[in-house]
Amino acid sequence: MTGSGRAEAYGRNAWIILFATAVLGIFGGVSVMVPTNPTYQLPSVIWIIRAWGLTWIGFNILALVLIVGPYRRGERWAWYTLWLMPLLLVGYFVLSPELTMNLVLAILSAALGLLLPYRRYFPHAEQQRSRVRPAPENPSPRHSDE
């Protein structure tokens, strides 16, 4: 397999990396919703932590829907939208630096899940499909009402 063929195969299968990251994000959200640290058991703090976990779960469900649908079909808007996934993981890492796994997942999802299939979403100019339909070769004559 040539180098470009291998990169193309990686690009076609990059959705698996994003899918695994989103599934791990759902498990992470569930674990955040059930805190085991007694300091987080304060009533004023527990609701904030649970809301954080719930948004994490909700976002990852949305990401799963985008990954298995529009992203796999090669729709460019889904590629742009899924950049929110590594950004959200970096944001969680900034809020809680002890969760280094978020930073690792952000780097993996950005590099392998989004940058690797870049050519699939932004092909060279000669490979791009035209969005304009070609004109018919023999247009039918128009009838005039004279």
- Write out the chain's pLDDT in tens, 146 residues: 555 666 566 667 788 888 998 998 899 888 888 767 666 566 677 788 788 889 889 999 999 999 999 988 888 899 899 999 899 889 888 987 887 888 888 888 888 888 888 878 788 765 555 555 555 566 555 655 55
Residue 145 counted as domain residue: no
Residue 40 counted as domain residue: yes
Residue 128 counted as domain residue: no
Question: How high is the pLDDT of residue 40?
Answer: 59
CA distance 131 to 77: 16
Question: How high is the pLDDT of residue 41?
Answer: 62
Residue 139 counted as domain residue: no
Q: What is the DSSP string of 85-137?
A: HHHHHHHHHHH-TT-HHHHHHHHHIIIIIIITTHHHHS--GGGPPPSSPPPPS
Listed in sequence order, the residues at least 6 apart from 137 whose beta carbon sits closer than 8 Å to its beta carbon are none
Question: How high is the pLDDT of residue 68?
Answer: 93
Question: How high is the pLDDT of residue 52?
Answer: 83
CA distance 41 to 139: 75
CA distance 97 to 49: 15
Question: How high is the pLDDT of residue 145?
Answer: 57
Question: How high is the pLDDT of residue 57?
Answer: 93
| Domains held by the chain: number | 1
pTM of the model: 0.69
Give the CA angle between residues 80, 83, 89 to the nearest 5°. 165
Q: How many other C-beta atoms can be found within 10 angstroms of the C-beta atom of residue 127?
A: 8
Residue 67 counted as domain residue: yes
Residue 138 counted as domain residue: no
Residue 107 counted as domain residue: yes
* Residue-range definition of the domain harbouring residue 107: 3-122
Residue 12 counted as domain residue: yes
